[in-house]
Amino acid sequence: MELQEFYFKLPPLKTEPIIDDTTLRDGIQMPGLAVAPQDAAKIAEFLAEVGVERIELFHYQEPDKKAARLIGDLKLDMRVAGWCRAVKEDIDSAAACGLKEVGISHPVSDLHFKAKWPEKTRDQILANVVDVVEYAAKTCGLRTFVHGEDSTRANWDFERKFINAVADAGAECYRICDTVGIGLSDPAAPVPIGIPAKVVACKKETKISAVEIHAHDDFGNAVENTMAAIKAASGVWDKVYASTTYLGIGERAGNAETEKVLLNLFLHYGVNKYAGKTQRLKATADFIGQATGYVVPPNKAIVGDYGFAHESGIHTHGVLNDPWTYEPYPPELVGNERRLTIGKQSGKGIIKYKITELSGNEPNDACVATVLERVKDIYANGRRASLKEEEFKTILRHLKILPQDPCSPCA
């Protein structure tokens, strides 16, 4: 059975999706995470290998500056941008690190204005942003994105004015930031909360040249909202950026996962530029977890260690006969591997398979039943975790199925 039987069925997107990974900015803002400059550079290499075309970085503390320089020295086939506040000093910092692009982040909702600048009017706030954008784009010659923080709670009349003003000032892309994850993917949802409506409105009612979605996962909808933005851009925008983090790490509940968006684009929408690159998804996840201190959940979709693990009797029996019964695609496609484990729910099929695998000989039914009974006894006494392979071997040795010396089959 081939992938083509299930995937690549949807019409091609009439827009070019570009993944703009912010693992080294928003991702490492997650409490408890940190990354050394050398590891940050290695993460950038991994991201380039899986098909990420743009990343953004911090560049304020000395380790961040060192990371930015190391990444620049790699000369990766990937754009690198510095994340900035709407202050000229941040623009100078990015330029000093050799960065050719910046993303200027600034709130666009009245809720944020009242909380942060109660003494200022909207026009005063906007004038400052325009001044910094002009400085970045026209004075410093940097490719400039503007991030509309809290876009999904902003007044659209003002936000439209904001977008047009920064476009005139030299910004090429506007990032719709669903800062607290309340955005809706339903095409019928109106602005500001409707992600598709906002994507279309930005095209119809503003001068900006490109649009981006940055979705947070507070409702668990970040990937859904990111894909909704991409679909809404199809036939409307020539290209659409998707701001994501690997493994979904980031503030609070995190962000849309880079690996999920990428695999959806490849398998469901046939975005062929990811062909041959998905095999690095798992290795990238493993390195990022190791480098940042993030513990990758074993059942994490696509890249978790248990993403293709099977233990229950029904599942192992099915997978041993035909992996497609309980796997959506071959684990090798994403660099993962199939794991068949022994546990409380295991049946005769997996027991027989593991004995054959370890001894090199197929056991008879009585042998399988004996081993299965021993496994059940272990779990009847309170065991929860799956048996490690060495533990299972110990059982086989105790039953003289797998002797310490030369192996003898269970006949």
Residue 159 contacts by C-beta under 8 Å, 6 or more apart in sequence? 108, 148, 151, 192
Ordered DSSP codes for 350-404: HHHHHHHHHHSS---HHHHHHHHHHHHHHHHTT--SPBPHHHHHHHHHHTTSS-S
CATH number at residue 72: 3.20.20.70
pLDDT of residue 409 exceeding 50, the answer is no
Same domain for 319 and 273: no
Same domain for 259 and 150: yes
Task: Tell me the Cα Rg of the chain.
Answer: 26
* Angle, alpha carbons 162-166-169 (nearest 5°): 145
Same domain for 138 and 41: yes
4 band by pLDDT with thresholds 50, 70 and 90? confident
238 backbone dihedrals φ, ψ, rounded to 5°: -65, -35
On whether residue 43 sits in a domain, the answer given is yes
Final residue of a structural domain among 234, 260, 292:
292
- In whole angstroms, what is the distance from residue 68 CA to residue 26 CA? 15
pLDDT of residue 407 exceeding 50, the answer is no
On whether residue 298 sits in a domain, the answer given is no
On whether residue 299 sits in a domain, the answer given is no
At 210, which helix (H) or strand (E)? strand 210-215
Same domain for 54 and 186: yes
* Global pTM value: 0.93
In sequence order, what are the beta bridge partners of 47?
none
Same domain for 317 and 288: no
Final residue of a structural domain among 228, 259, 292:
292
Instruction: Say what the pLDDT of residue 411 is.
Output: 47
- In whole angstroms, what is the distance from residue 331 CA to residue 338 CA? 6
Q: What is the largest CA-CA distance in the chain?
A: 86
How does pLDDT run across 41-66, given as a tens digit for each residue? 999 999 999 999 999 999 999 999 99
Same domain for 348 and 288: no
Average pLDDT over residues 296-300: 97
Same domain for 393 and 332: yes
Number of domains in the chain: 2
Final residue of a structural domain among 292, 327, 356:
292
Tally of CB atoms within 10 A around 382 = 6
pLDDT of residue 86 exceeding 60, the answer is yes
Give start and end residues of each alpha helix (H) in 77-142: 88-96, 110-116, 122-134
Instruction: Say what the pLDDT of residue 404 is.
Output: 66
Average pLDDT over residues 141-146: 98
- In whole angstroms, what is the distance from residue 215 CA to residue 254 CA? 9
Same domain for 285 and 153: yes
User: Which residue type does 186 have?
Assistant: D
Residue 144: both structure tokens together: 């400039």
CA nearest to 173, candidates 138, 153, 148, 196: 148
Angle between helices 37-50 and 258-267 (to 10 degrees): 10
Give start and end residues of each alpha helix (H) in 305-347: 313-321
Q: Could you tell me if 311 and 386 are in contact, meaning their C-beta atoms sit under 8 angstroms apart?
A: yes
At 244, which helix (H) or strand (E)? strand 239-244
Residue 74 structural domain? 3-292
Distances (CA, A) of 323 to 331, 344, 354, 369: 10, 21, 16, 25
Give start and end residues of each alpha helix (H) in 84-189: 88-96, 110-116, 122-134, 156-169
Average pLDDT over residues 11-28: 98
CA nearest to 256, candidates 174, 181, 334: 181
108 band by pLDDT with thresholds 50, 70 and 90? very high
